[in-house]
Amino acid sequence: MPSWKLTSGLLSLFFGALAGLFALVYIQVEIPSAHDSARRQATVYYWADGSRMVSVGDVNRQDVKLHQVPKSVQRAVIAAENADFYSDSGISVSGIVRAAANIVKGEETQGGSTITQQYVKNTYLSQDQTVQRKVKEVFLSLKVSNQRPKTEVLEGYLNTSWFGRDAYGIQAASYAYYGIPAADLNPSQGALLAAVLKGAESLDPSLSPANRQRAEDRWSWILDRQVETGTMSAEERTKYTRFPEPKPPVKPTSQAGQIGYLVDVANKYIRSRSSLTDKDLAGGGYRVYTTFEKPRVLALAQAVEKVRAEHLNPKARPDDHHVQVGAASVRPRDGAIVAVYGGPDAIKHFSNNADTSGVPAASTFKPFVYAAALEQGLAGGERAVDGLGPHPLRPEPTAAPIQPMSLFASLVASDHTPFVEIGKKIGLKKVKDLAVASGLREESMAELEPTFSIGTSTPSAIRLASAYTTFINKGRATDPYSVTKIEQNGIAVGGFDLAESRRAMSSEVASIVGAALRQVGRITVGQSKAQKPAFPAWAGKTGPRDRMKSAWFIGATDEVSTSVAMFRTKPDVPNLLPMQGVGGPDSERGSAFPPLIWEAYQQMTASSPSPADVSEGP
């Protein structure tokens, strides 16, 4: 065994050498020139045919002096990000250790950095999550902390940080969220901007109800934290009990029309499949190749506007005010999202109606109930309906059918009662599980109450269009996707290989439900049973018996599945408005219009040029 003198000597030698190496590296590290934001490349999005759709990433940054930022805002940022900023050495040892461990494990490294470290990363370094970059960040942070006044560091941090909404720096953020210069921010508004520094994707309150709750919680915590750290009195804190609601986001003019919605859908998919964030994409340098087909996007928008112009008259009918439409087209063979209609204009109506969750599916959800019943062997009593003829996979009538009218006929006739009954019998969880397996999101599912079977869940138009392809694809489901590949400096970003399809229901069940949906399609597009449909389709729809505040139509062909939703919403009203009276007394609660939009869209795409003939963005 070595003596304690030898051991202590070796340890002293080791730590002395380590300290010497540290000092040597510290001396050799030079503070480089700051990034030139003008050199940043844009992120370019491409149509499915490879032509350029839009360029995003012109840096929205307006530097201000620290004295132009209210003290209350400075204190809020420090309380949220680095309470001992004015006394620390510029680095957080515990944060560095945690980040290093995360890098080794391949996890994200966010969190634990000081304001100085974040300033150094924003100003001098890349956003790469590597050990080399992290080591460089540590030494540069120490050097900057020793050679630059804290006020300069704070000023630089406030001017370079990402606040979401394409805004770099406190001045651009102040305009983006409140439409005022940073100098006019009050303590409550400043606390909200300090909150979104943690991650605007999950904390910008305008993006979703969940974001709104998270933002309010963090805003409140930051105000309380200032009291805790002594930078705000308890008496002043009592003044700020009302959440400082920011204005809705505004897209740049380059994202007018449907482009902003397309970028939104693509970015959400990118975040779900990779570690890239909106901040990364806004930083530029990426090439994003999407599945969106320009002719279809244009045709879908034109179809919506045509039906609106012909059937809605807000000047004559008050009920025609605040009508919104969301629509999406998904390719059945692989799940590619080829078109969306997110609203009239992305720079005027930011909320993406094609990808929103909040509009009840109503009767369009019933096919999943029917399929679940068939899977459980509890949908006896099937029979031919309206001359459709017997189906080879449809069971013969049983001696004791479950209900007088079969589920097949009930689906075609939009009858509610049998679906409520069968849902209770087979168990609502089985219905839910099959719907989710078909592609509807778990978080869009409603409470498992009796009305669950008649569509209280609120899937997006994209997800409902995709889920209906399961009936076309013989029971196999494929999640929708909007990006085929991303490149940075010619190198592909990983994570965008196509997902494998999965079995959601048996092919026999898909065939039986599909037969009913074809009958719904034939009836809805106004053709008699003797006629050959111009657009043979599987279809689901809402009708006059639906009492929910939405109208839907899903028309699916072998080529494309398209869902159209119509609803009424007002910004200052949390719940959907009634659909009764929309478009006049004969509109069946608005349910007459989504099929008209679908038909107009089908006619336009049947005569539109192929994607290869189109090379310019709208």
Q: Are 202 and 271 in contact (CB under 8 A)?
A: no
Query: What is the gyration radius of the CA atoms in the chain, in angstroms?
Result: 29
What's the mean per-residue pLDDT of the chain?
83
Round to whole Å and give the CA distance between 206 and 194.
Answer: 16
User: Residues 413-423, buried b or exposed e (16+ Cβ, 10 A)?
Assistant: bbbbebbebbb
Q: Are 232 and 187 in contact (CB under 8 A)?
A: yes
Q: Is the pLDDT of residue 170 over 80?
A: yes
Residue 526 DSSP code: T
Residue 233's pLDDT is: 96
- What confidence tens digit (pLDDT) does each residue in 295-345 have? 999 999 999 999 999 999 999 999 999 999 999 999 999 999 999 999 999
Residue 388's pLDDT is: 36
Residue type, 7: T
**What would the mean pLDDT of 244-248 be, rounded to a whole number?**
93
User: Which CATH fold would you assign to the domain 300-613?
Assistant: Beta-lactamase (3.40.710)
Residue 389's pLDDT is: 37
Q: Is the pLDDT of residue 36 over 60?
A: no
Q: Is the pLDDT of residue 404 over 50?
A: no
In the three-class reduction of DSSP (H, G, I as helix; E, B as strand; rest coil), residue 69 is classed as coil
Q: Which two tokens stand for residue 428?
A: 């609502």
Torsion sign across C-alpha atoms 202, 204, 210, 216: positive
3-state secondary structure 17-36: HHHHHHHHHHHHCCCCCCCC
CB neighbours of residue 578 within 10 Å: 14
Q: Is the pLDDT of residue 222 over 80?
A: yes
Spans of all domains in the chain? 59-251, 300-613
Any idea which of 237-241, 372-376, 407-411 has the lowest mean pLDDT? 407-411
Q: Between the CA of residue 287 and those of 45, 421, 497, what are the distances in Å?
A: 6, 51, 16
In the three-class reduction of DSSP (H, G, I as helix; E, B as strand; rest coil), residue 218 is classed as helix
Q: Which two tokens stand for residue 157?
A: 């941090």
Strands 476-477 and 43-46: unpaired
| Nearest of 268, 40, 81 to residue 276 by alpha carbon | 268
Element (H, E) at 561: strand 561-568
Instruction: For residue 301, give every residue at least 6 positions away whose Cβ sits within 8 Å of its Cβ, in sequence order, or none.
Output: 257, 258, 341
Confidence band (pLDDT; 50, 70, 90) for 12?
Answer: low
Q: Are 555 and 575 in contact (CB under 8 A)?
A: no
- pTM for this prediction: 0.76
User: Which CATH fold would you assign to the domain 59-251?
Assistant: Penicillin binding protein transpeptidase fold (1.10.3810)
Q: Is the pLDDT of residue 77 over 50?
A: yes
Round to whole Å and give the CA distance between 376 and 380.
Answer: 11
Q: Is the pLDDT of residue 115 over 50?
A: yes
